Every structure is written in C-alpha cells, then in structure tokens.
Amino acid sequence: MSVSPSAPTTAPTASTPTQADLLDFVRRTAADAELIASLPLDPEGRTWVRLEGPGGSEAWLIGWPPGTGTGWHDHAESVGAFITASGELKENSLAARLPADGWKTLELTDGVDRERRLPAGKGRAFGRHHVHEVLNESTDQHAVSVHAYYPPLPQIRRYSRVGQVLRLEQVERPEDWQ
C-alpha cells in the first residue's frame, strides 16, 4: 500500500481545545523560566513531568539529553502541539495521512518527508495521526520541550522505518507510560 501527501483535516468543535489553543498553551508554558529550570535532567535518558493542560488536555514537560529521540510514532486520534523551551530539537515528519488501522507495513511515496529545526521558542501544532520523530541531535546540550494533546492520548503507535518502508512495531496505551 502506498501513502500520498495528506489533505487538510477538519477542525474540532469549539468546546474542545483546538490545535491553536494547544500551541498557545505550550508557548505560554515554555516562557515560564522557573518551571523549565525545575525539570530534573538526566544525562542518560529523557525525563518528564505531567502538566495540567487546557480544557482537559494532556500536557508534558520533557527533558532531552544530547543524542536522544523518540523514534517514529503517532498520537492516534489526538491533535497536539509542542515547542522547544531550551536547546534545539529536530522533527522529521510525514506529510501523509496513514490509515488508522488494518496494516503492518506501508511503502511511502516520494515527497512525503518533512524536516523542521525547532530552536528555543519555536514549535508547531499537528493533527490526528501525525507521524513523526523528535530528536535532540546536539552532542553536548540538553533540550527541554513542552507538549500538549487533546484528547488525552488514547495510544501511541510506534514504527520502524527503513528507506520508504514504514512498519508498525508496537501500540502503547496510557498505562504503559504513566
């Protein structure tokens, strides 16, 4: 199965936080220097603290040691936003809408790869089924970021990627990471 670049998705209802609301929240939170400085940083692995997000959303403050990343994943039915509060992160993403279920391996078409550099103060919002990986490529500097998702994450699907082949490897549920 091939996957082509995606079309825009419809907006959520006014009673739920929108991508713009989530992006505004992560921007305001990242500007709280005291909060950002309070995150314990581990030289070996990522650290995180759960935050109170707007409108019942799930939010996280995450520390990234040099050379760490998430691997390819999506956030299922949740929309989200994140911003780099300190350091710099890189996001590799797919500009393609993947089928929600019923597949294990997809061959991606040319032109679906996107790359963003996100230095401190830069972030982005994203829609449902957004497939990406986030990396701290620095060899000597931690990064800290703020993330928010709505609805609260029902699952995270993890993928492996070799060339243009994307393979579903694992589905995690909230009890796996909380």
For the segment 25-51, what is each residue's pLDDT rounded down to a tens digit?
999 999 999 999 999 999 999 999 999
Query: Is pLDDT of 98 > 70?
Result: yes
Ordered structural domains, the chain, with CATH: 13-98+109-154 (2.60.120.10)
pLDDT at 86: 98
pLDDT at 177: 67
Q: Which of 37, 159, 13 is nearest to 99 (CA)?
A: 159
Query: Is pLDDT of 3 > 50?
Result: no
Distance CA 72, CA 132 (A): 5
For the segment 118-163, what is each residue's pLDDT rounded down to a tens digit?
999 999 999 988 999 999 999 999 999 999 999 998 899 999 999 9
Query: Is pLDDT of 12 > 50?
Result: no
| Apex 115 CA angle, 169 and 102, nearest 5 | 30
Q: In which band, very low, low, confident or very high, does the pLDDT at 175 lie, cut at 50, 70 and 90?
A: confident
Distance CA 37, CA 25 (A): 18
Give the tokens for residue 174.
């909230």
Q: Let me know: does 61 contact 48? Beta carbons within 8 Å.
A: yes
Q: Which of 1, 4, 28, 13 is nearest to 151 (CA)?
A: 13
